[in-house]
A and B are shown apart, each in its own frame.
Chain A
Amino acid sequence: MMSNRKNSTHHHAKTACHECDLLQVLPVAVTQNVVCCRCGALLHRAPGDQPQTSLALVLATLFVFALANVFPVVGLEVGGVRTATTLLGTVSQLMHQDMLPVAMLVLFTGVLLPGIELLALLYLLLPLTLGRVPHGFPRVMRAIQMLHPWGMVEVFLLGVLVSLVKLAHLAQVHPGIGLWSFFVLIVLLATSASRFDAALLWERYEACRAIR
């Protein structure tokens, strides 16, 4: 158990596992992921990116996000008739068919929530890199945490691949620029999610607040 190392020279901080509530001691200077010794939940991430690096990544992700939503994802050609669609195009088509709940589900999980999450990250990281505390920091952090499970860009990409195969029997399909942008987008999103260091941001927030 982690508490056995109480006598070592490291500084220790008490923590509770968020999945099994076991009270345990966490070394403060952690360089690797720390997992709960009882249930294996991730208690503390290895130090992730500095705010500057996260900021650069978020800006790149926002750019690709815009590309992925502006350019058509797939096109279809049957006997000279061409159709192409973007993610937002599917939403408006579903609305035309009186499928408002489904349209909203696609709109929110595919476009709005991932977009809002990225903008919220930008809002937090930009002032923090300049050493200032953005207004309403705790609330925005909480919002990011709540929105995160509902962003489903990677599922949408798998959906595009399934549709491509389904339609390949019917007609000629053309993968669009949007599709390639989506590939880049999920790589960027996965990278920033795995390197995002919430604990570091909270430390920065406390440090900046103490100075003021």
Chain B
Amino acid sequence: MPRYPLNSAAARGWWHCHACGLLCRGVDERPGTAAVCPRCGAEVRARKKRSVEYAWAFLLAAIICYLPANLLPIMETVMLSGTQSDTIMSGVVFLWQSGSWPLALVVFIASVLVPLLKILAMLLLLVTVQCRSRWAPRQRTRLYRLLEAIGPWSMLDIYVVALLVSLVQLQSLASIKAGPGAMAFGAVVVLTMLSAMCFDPRLIWDPIEVNDDRQA
């Protein structure tokens, strides 16, 4: 039987329905059991189902895809003078050198920094939750909220590649093809989003008893 802190709803047998926000009566204290929400009929659990396991699985898959996403070319430009392959980083460098450094910064943040920070932040959250750490729960919850908010923005480069690919089709002069890196990069974005969705932020607060959060 899992133990919940005294001031939590789960300790009093109240479960929050994620579908409609109704507070439902919990059925059983054993983990993995589900109740049915009386208002919307959705499955209600004290904590998300196998949250840590699913989050780890998606995160590990994302880490595996992260290397090809950054090393393989996401775009191949075929010109008269030859073929030029662009990785994500070389795209940023090109923007920087061509003088549009604010845009280089935007692309760098969205495509390089955000995926990396997302992976590191998920690692931090999962490891601290698994050792039932009591360290900075408020900050970790905020980190999780940030993670969910910035998730989609790393799709930026996928859209840029999609647009360039369909615009630059000038038979004799130049044409652009999407590279295998784009596939891996798209996978990283989707997998990190799935990992964050599976994670249950309430697990951060589970080791924290009433006396611990007096200062909060």
List the B side residues contacting A199 at CB < 8 Å: 21
Q: Among residues 1 to 27 in chain B, which have CB atoms less than 8 Å away from a CB atom of chain A?
A: 4, 7-10, 12, 14-16, 18-23
A interface bracket (residues with beta carbon within 8 Å of B): 35 or more
A108-130 vs B, CB cutoff 8 Å, 1 = contact: the mask equals 01100000000000000000000
B residues sitting closer than 8 Å to A (CB atoms) are 4, 7-10, 12, 14-16, 18-23, 39-42, 94-95, 98, 100, 103, 106-107, 110, 137-138, 141-142, 144-145, 148, 151-153, 155-170, 173-174, 177-178, 182-183, 186-187, 190, 193, 197, 201-202, 204-206, 213, 216
CB pair B166 A40 closer than 8 Å: no
- Mind listing 11 A-B residue pairs with CB under 8 Å? A16-B8, A22-B7, A38-B216, A81-B170, A90-B165, A97-B178, A101-B186, A102-B162, A141-B40, A163-B164, A206-B39
Which of B103, B106, B158, B173: most chain A CB closer than 10 A?
B158
A156–B141 Cα distance when bound, in Å, is 28
A74 → chain B, closest Cβ, in Å? 6
A166–B166 Cα distance when bound, in Å, is 14
Q: Give the residue of A14, A97, A105, A162 whose beta carbon is less than 8 angstroms from that of B160.
A: A162
In the complex formed, the residue of A with least CB distance to B5 is A21
CB pair B163 A160 closer than 8 Å: yes
A residues sitting closer than 8 Å to B (CB atoms) are 14-23, 38-41, 73-76, 78-79, 81, 83-85, 89-94, 97, 99, 101-103, 105-106, 109-110, 138, 141-142, 145, 149-150, 152, 155-156, 158-163, 165-167, 169-170, 198-199, 202, 206
List the B side residues contacting A91 at CB < 8 Å: 162
CB pair A163 B160 closer than 8 Å: yes
